Amino acid sequence: MSEKINAKGGPAFSKGLSIKQNYIFSLIYKLVAVLVPVFITPYLARVLEPDGNGAISFVSSIASYFILLANLGIEGYGQRTVAMHRDDKEFLNKFVLEIFVLKIFLTIASGAIFLVLFSIVGGAKTEIYYIFAISVFFVAFDFSWLFQGLENFRILAITHVFARIAYVALVFVAVKEKQHVNVAAILWVGMTVVSYLLSFPFVVRFFKINKGEKIHPFAHLKESVVYFIPAIAVSVYTILDKTMIGVITGSDFENGYYEEADKIVRLVLTAITTLNIIMRSRISYCFARREFEQVKNYIRQTANIAFMLCFPMTFGILAVSAPFVNIYLGDAYGKSITLLRILSPLIIIIATSNILGTHYYTPFNKQRTSNKFLIVGAIVNAALNIPFIYFWQSVGAAVASVIAEFVILILYAVNANGFFEFKEFIKISWKYAVCAVIMFFVVAAAVRCLPESLLWLIAEIAAGIIVYFALLLIFRTEFLLNYLKNVFAKLKRRKH
């Protein structure tokens, strides 16, 4: 896992970070992006209350569609292209400049539509729509796809950490009462814009092409659209849920309950899917060199790490959801307990489908096949949302999301063409699953018997972790044992 990146001939700041270093920086980047709102959620949940949080969540979900339009699939297309050509400096310089010019045109078009549309139909939330329009207009300066393709997550991590620390400080200073919803929205959007602008100086060095050479930004439109389709499909069960809850129920409260439960699940998923993002670039590179056995080896490593984390996290959430929500969010968010329990299986389902999607379908240029499956899942989710939300509000949206994600996982697994069979996932995961189930019963029993307090909650979570990893050792889980052997071997070599 510490193999060095071959960046020979590539951009100067590509620096050959190892997978382990990139994982750490990427994990910092992703965790900070999710941890910051999670860290201040107890404060904002009590100051803005469920309907205030729900209003921001609803408008944010609407703005996300226009951000998707401004990106037009460039994140996936750009990362893959940069990963496959990262040793060709001349190609990268021209490609980065062309994509930047293309995104400027797309951003202006998308932002203009957003402003005109919601100036007319924004209603009571018009001011919040104007605030989120800023995030749409600055999408052109989002170069995360470039740094991910180069496997250089250091810059992303540093800039995002700085912007989010500033955001947290300003929230506690400026958001003091429920009427400060607009202030909270400004700070949230400002944090994103600042992180874009801080990373931009590291991108300018790519804007170098030979004198007289022409650029063709719109030549990338066709391929970008291929990646745009899955982005839309994914948005259906990550964004559309909140949009439809707001439209069908007309309740900012329901959106507030759903937003917080979904936020917790997404936080847990971040730690798991971060490795997949890093490995997507590495696997694209191996695919270009036709190193297929190495690709399979990477898939096995990633699957072991993902399953070792996702099973205990899923069953841990099921066990401690009630005291966690009550202590973390407060009594006003009681419905989020039920939503959190319903959404928790998404951790296992998305972790598995994410491995197949990022490690097989995308690197092996099967994006169009992947798109079809994502579209099917999106249709299933949207179709179920209408009756489910109508009868069960946010609970119905949660159930529909789980069903849709499971449909996508089945389609991914059945159509992997034997490259990596699903039975291998079962073989890898069964010990993690059994140990997690046993851990669940131990922790659930403790939750029932012990009083509800922060200290006891921490003790219950700590006990669950200890029980789980002790069981993995008792079951002699091969991946964990090999990892521990390598760690001890390195420690011995350092001593000598």
State pLDDT tens for residues 52-96.
888 888 888 889 889 989 988 888 888 888 888 877 888 888 888
Of residues 15 and 314, more confidently modeled? 314
Whether 410 maps to a domain, the answer reads yes
Q: Poorest-confidence range of 3-7, 146-150, 169-173, 277-281?
A: 3-7
Whether 2 maps to a domain, the answer reads no
Q: How far is CA 347 from its chain centroid?
A: 11
Whether 4 maps to a domain, the answer reads no
Q: Which two tokens stand for residue 114?
A: 């957003």
Helix, strand, or coil here: 314? helix
- pLDDT recorded at residue 8: 38
Q: Which two tokens stand for residue 484?
A: 């521990």
- pLDDT recorded at residue 404: 92
CA distances from 390 to 19, 252, 393, 404 (A): 46, 15, 6, 18
Q: Quick check: 435 and 475 in contact, CB under 8 A?
A: yes
Whether the pLDDT of residue 426 is over 80: the answer is yes
Of residues 253 and 419, more confidently modeled? 253
- pLDDT recorded at residue 346: 95
Q: What b/e readout covers 274-301, taking b as 16+ CB neighbours within 10 angstroms?
A: bbbbbbbbbbbbbbeeeeeebbbebbbe
Whether the pLDDT of residue 117 is over 80: the answer is yes
- pLDDT recorded at residue 421: 74
Whether 70 maps to a domain, the answer reads yes
The average pLDDT across 4-8 equals: 39
Domain total of the chain:
1
Whether the pLDDT of residue 318 is over 90: the answer is yes
Confidence of residue 232 (pLDDT cuts 50, 70, 90): confident
- Percent of the chain scored above 70 by pLDDT? 90
Q: Poorest-confidence range of 6-10, 37-41, 163-167, 232-236?
A: 6-10
State the Cα–Cα distance between residues 99 and 113, nearest whole angstrom: 21
Confidence of residue 5 (pLDDT cuts 50, 70, 90): very low
Whether 1 maps to a domain, the answer reads no
The average pLDDT across 97-122 equals: 88
For the full predicted model, state whether its pTM sits above 0.85: no
State the Cα–Cα distance between residues 421 and 6, nearest whole angstrom: 30
How many residues does the structure list for the chain? Answer: 496
Whether the pLDDT of residue 122 is over 70: the answer is no
Confidence of residue 276 (pLDDT cuts 50, 70, 90): low
Residue found by looking up tokens 């439960």 in the block = 261
Whether 321 maps to a domain, the answer reads yes
Q: Which are the contacts of 328, defined by CB distance < 8 A and separation ≥ 6?
A: 41, 42
β-bridge mates for residue 4, sequence order: 18
State the Cα–Cα distance between residues 246 and 61, nearest whole angstrom: 10
Phi, psi of 18 (to 5 degrees): -75, 165
DSSP 361: I
Q: Which two tokens stand for residue 130?
A: 């104007």
Which residue range forms the structural domain that includes residue 289? 12-495
Q: Which two tokens stand for residue 466?
A: 């200890």
* Strand spans (E) along 203-274: none
CB atoms within 10 A of CB 438: 15
CB atoms within 10 A of CB 476: 9
The average pLDDT across 446-451 equals: 94
Whether 7 maps to a domain, the answer reads no
- pLDDT recorded at residue 236: 61
**Residue 120 identity (one-letter amino acid):** I
